[in-house]
Amino acid sequence: MKKTLLAALLSVVGMHCAVAAEPIDPIQPVKVENPALVNLGKMLFFDPRLSRSGFISCNSCHNLATGGVDNLKTSIGDRWAQGPINSPTVLNSFGQIAQFWDGRAKTLEEQAAGPIANPLEMASTHEMAVKVIASIPGYAKYFKAAFGDAGVTIDRITEAMAAFEKTLVTPNSRFDKWLKGNKKALTKQELAGYQLFKSSGCTMCHNGEKVGGSSFQKMGLVRPYETTNTAEGVKAVSGRDQDRMTFKVPILRNVELTYPYFHDGEAATLEKAVEVMGDVQLGRRYTEKETAQIVAFLKTLTGDQPKITYPVLPPSSAATPAFDPWAPAKK
């Protein structure tokens, strides 16, 4: 009996050591502590009335049917404005070092507040967003269930949306299954790609359970990255010239779904992204076979996608401000 118990304990310890030995960790399903808050956040995430036009919702750029992105080089904003930068995925976004490519928001709550008032995105104001949501009688019961009373504030709106976004985790990828001990979960080509991914130095930046999102790095570390995109990265926040072209390292989970790649969306395919990263970040020119191996590995990072039931939003009232998507911008 004692030998059996000891063997079982050693097996568990060995399994944990095997997982810990890898630079990438399995991602875990989320535990929902306040279902009412998450439910309210889901409604607000899909509600286009948070925008000036009454047409753009969070899901417009972070489409949960397409990996949490819009699959465009740069997103479309208010009055068909072209956004300045590629839209990062909302999946597995919680717990990163910061939000946005330049890290200007430290939390998901801060991030959720940004697009609402950004004139190139949803183009509303926080005051108008509160006025609109407060004017919709059907929202009152959801705010009361989430917060204890029906009061609407911008902080409550963004807290609810962040609570929902924190649930958008994608566990059970084939790579996670391999990490947890299922050695048949990956093919020889995929394993070769992972070994090359590690030996090349990719895991210096793309590590942890999100396979990224935990550091800022210069784009073009070994060789300058050529782009016509004007985004300056962290410099826009810090003001320091040495931070130009430094961006948050993107998450690689579900990366086969989140094309096109890089802050400027210039890499249309995973193959192109791997080739460019090898060149400008590592000073390495991958062969066609090596590129195919790394791409095969990256595709094993696609996990279970969130099962979302589209919310039925409460209707506007006579007190809800009218929306005019074609109205000229206010000067």
Q: What are the tens digits of pLDDT across the range 19-29?
A: 448 999 999 99
Mean pLDDT score across all residues of the chain: 94
- pLDDT tens across 273-296, in order? 999 999 999 999 999 999 999 999
First to last CA, the chain: 80
User: What's the rounded Cα separation, in Å, for the pair 103 and 216?
Assistant: 8
Q: Quick one: pLDDT at residue 21? A: 87
Please report where in the chains the tokens 């992972």 appear, as a residue: 194
Low-confidence residues of the chain: pLDDT under 50: 1-20
- For the annotated catalytic residues, the residue numbers are 121
Is the CB of residue 232 less than 8 Å from the CB of residue 84?
A: no
Domains recognised in the chain with CATH numbers: 35-165 (1.10.760.10), 174-299 (1.10.760.10)
User: What's the rounded Cα separation, in Å, for the pair 148 and 204?
Assistant: 45
Please report where in the chains the tokens 């595709």 appear, as a residue: 299
Helices (H), the chain: 2-20, 35-46, 58-61, 108-117, 126-134, 140-147, 154-165, 174-179, 188-199, 235-238, 270-280, 288-299
User: What's the rounded Cα separation, in Å, for the pair 212 and 196?
Assistant: 17
